[in-house]
Amino acid sequence: MTDRIMHFLRNRREDGPCLVVDLDVVRENFGAFAQALPDTRVFYAVKANPAPEVLDLLAKLGSCFDTASVVEIEQVLATGASPDRISFGNTIKKERDIARAFALGIRLFAVDSEAEVEKIARAAPGSKVFCRILCDGDGAEWPLSRKFGCVPEMAAQVLEQAHRLGLVAHGLSFHVGSQQRNPRMWDGALASASAIFRDLAERGLTLQMVNLGGGFPTKYLKDVPAVKAYGQAIFESLRKHFGNRIPETIIEPGRGMVGNAGVIEAEVVLISKKSAADAMRWVYLDIGKFNGLAETMDEMIRYPIRTAFDGDEAEPCVIAGPSCDSVDVLYEKEPYPLPLSLEIGSKVLIEGTGAYTTTYSAVGFNGFPPLKSYVI
């Protein structure tokens, strides 16, 4: 929570939950990344929060952008950033979208299969490609599983294929899992990456770049290491595995760039119990899984929730959203302590919600509007 957000909310008159993002915090986060990883270019992961004000600020600060669709590419271009500052980082693209991106000037693409390389060779000839390798996501609170990437042996083949088809085999990428609380988790992926670099060099192909992905955490309830600790751990691993031939590196922070810049104000709609004998309160908010808090899925992300009654006696309760879908329960497996003095109609502040909230919000499910957002 910042004074600017507090001031904004005090003067807000409209109804309904809203997210407020403080650009000063985004600016500080960008500076912290630049300082912690001074030789690494930042490609902000647009999906975390594509608000035009956020993209404009980052473009002005010199950031590059990781995008996953033609619409995201257009959102970045609208800031005036040139296409050489944009990567098309999704490994799963329609060929006609690759062609549209190419027409817009995009020349850097992610792949993780030979079939995708073939599409890029046809639709974006001569472009640079980097191949994503699988990462197990251990230690991450929001692991990315096996959807993206291929095993290291396949990555070498994919890049050789790219080279054969006239593309530039530029490098490798990985993602250690989102909300990665262990700075050492980049080490295993960098060991694999360096082995692929050596293997391909022996076959006459010199890679240039390692894309270190996202994963940098936001502080929710538990403490997380500072970005400086990530910079140090990553630099040590680069030294260990690449010696004095450290490749060009980029990072793609999403959550770590905007998560702590946002606060959601929501309202208590109902406090009730399931039976007279049951001590457990159910607290229903006007925000839930479908209008902003999708990352409470499996209770993976546990947001700090502030109320005007903090400090009063608190007891665990179940917190649920407003929709008529029974999966719209935020915290039940591990009930969440809220003050007993909390009342129907009270406002609550949900912190650390600058990333993956507006973009995960459904359009009108049950008639609830998508999460409103203000960037100040």
Ligand X SMILES: *Cc1c(COP(=O)(O)O)cnc(C)c1O
Catalytic sites, residue numbers: 324
Cβ contacts of residue 11 below 8 Å, gap of 6+? none
**Smallest gap from residue 129 Cβ to ligand X (A):** 14
**Per CB under 6 A, does 252 bind ligand X?**
yes
Residue closer to ligand X (CB basis): 17 or 217: 217
Asked if 86 and 74 touch (Cβ cutoff 8 Å), the reply is no
Number of residues that bind ligand X (CB under 6 A): 16
**Cα gap 243→175, rounded to integer Å:** 22
Among 18, 25, 32, 47, binds ligand X (CB under 6 A): 47
Element (H, E) at 307: strand 305-307
Asked if 208 and 246 touch (Cβ cutoff 8 Å), the reply is no
Among 107, 119, 170, 255, binds ligand X (CB under 6 A): 255
Residue closer to ligand X (CB basis): 225 or 339: 225
Residue closer to ligand X (CB basis): 252 or 351: 252
Asked if 251 and 214 touch (Cβ cutoff 8 Å), the reply is yes
Q: Would you say the C-alpha torsion 271, 273, 274, 276 has a positive or negative sign?
A: negative
Binders of ligand X among residues 176 to 195 (CB under 6 A) are 178
**Per CB under 6 A, does 88 bind ligand X?**
no
Q: Stretches 201-209, 250-258, 343-351, 357-365: which one binds ligand X (CB under 6 A)? A: 250-258
Give the 3-state secondary structure of residue 171.
strand
Residue closer to ligand X (CB basis): 255 or 281: 255
Cβ contacts of residue 251 below 8 Å, gap of 6+? 33, 37, 40, 41, 42, 43, 211, 212, 213, 214, 216
**Per CB under 6 A, does 256 bind ligand X?**
yes
Q: What is residue 310's DSSP assignment?
A: B
Among 214, 288, 292, 322, binds ligand X (CB under 6 A): 214
Among 216, 220, 303, 331, binds ligand X (CB under 6 A): 216
Cβ contacts of residue 60 below 8 Å, gap of 6+? none
Among 89, 137, 152, 321, binds ligand X (CB under 6 A): 89
Residue closer to ligand X (CB basis): 152 or 213: 213
Residue ranges that bind ligand X, judged by CB under 6 A: 45, 47-48, 66, 89, 175, 178, 213-216, 252-256
